[in-house]
Amino acid sequence: MLLVVDIGNTNITMGVYEGETLNGPFRMTTKTKRTSDEYGVLLLSMLSSRGIAPAQIHAVIISSVVPAIMHSFHNAIRKYLHVEPIDVGPGTKSGIRIKMPNPRELGADRITDAVAGYTLYGGPVLVIDFGTATTYDLIGADGSFEAGITSPGIRISANALWNEAAKLPEIEIKKPVSILAKDTVTSMQAGLIYGAIGQTKYIISQVKKEAGLDSLFVVATGGLGKLISEAVEEIDQYYADLTLKGLRIIYEKNCG
């Protein structure tokens, strides 16, 4: 079995592949102060709850944008699963050529999403990940990473509202029935969700226009991606486990 791990700024998302079948995903919060033993115990507990013994994990591949936890997390994998983890990064075979002045600047999560998007849907494809940040990545017909756009994620915007405005409360992030809000909570929800919908529509439109790609396929993923995808007809597909799928594909390219 292959353990795939996506370490984001907010959550660590994991799954176990047996062949092409995914058991998961399961998540824990990303905390830089955890020790390798804390990560190891949490990991074993999550695997056990799904009937998976440590000895069944033969390989681990990790995509991370949080360098501060990698020493502890790597040691947890070694101590509790007895496997040497593989990191997605410079030198990893991905099949994606990065057309950027400094390819090393591109996060491992974006490379992983790009690999999955291109493998599943071909190119050109626009991959949108609604995570801590919302990212839009354009992959060309030949599998090249052509361009990327980064904006604050919906939760970042929400946190800014209630942390920076003294009278605004912390709210549930959901789409209200109407944009014509009548109270503070729904007015915040309307601004956050309809604002994200509008931004998504505009960026997709502008990418198609500037790249000259009227037939561009658009796939979305990420925690709040389903909510936005349901309201944006320009998004062709929502794929919840796109990043984990990409990790499996990259593992096969390097070790399969």
Q: Which two tokens stand for residue 149?
A: 């756009």
The second-level CATH assignment, the architecture, of 2-87 is 2-Layer Sandwich (3.30)
Q: What is the chain's pLDDT, residue by residue, as a tens digit (256 residues)?
A: 999 999 998 899 999 999 999 998 999 999 888 999 999 999 999 999 999 999 999 999 999 999 999 999 999 999 999 999 999 987 789 888 888 788 788 889 999 999 999 999 999 999 999 988 999 999 999 999 999 999 999 989 988 988 888 788 888 889 999 999 999 999 999 999 999 999 999 999 999 999 999 889 999 999 889 999 999 999 999 999 999 999 999 999 998 6
**With a threshold of 0.85, does the pTM exceed it?**
yes
**Cα–Cα distance measured from residue 37 to residue 56, given in angstroms and rounded to the nearest whole number:** 20
Q: What is the CATH number assigned to the segment(s) 123-242? A: 3.30.420.40
Residues of the chain with CATH 3.30.420.40: 2-87, 123-242
* Catalytic residue selected from 6, 37, 87, 109: 109
Q: For this structure, is 37 an active site residue?
A: no
The CB density around residue 215, as the number of other CB atoms within 10 Å, is 6
The CB density around residue 191, as the number of other CB atoms within 10 Å, is 16
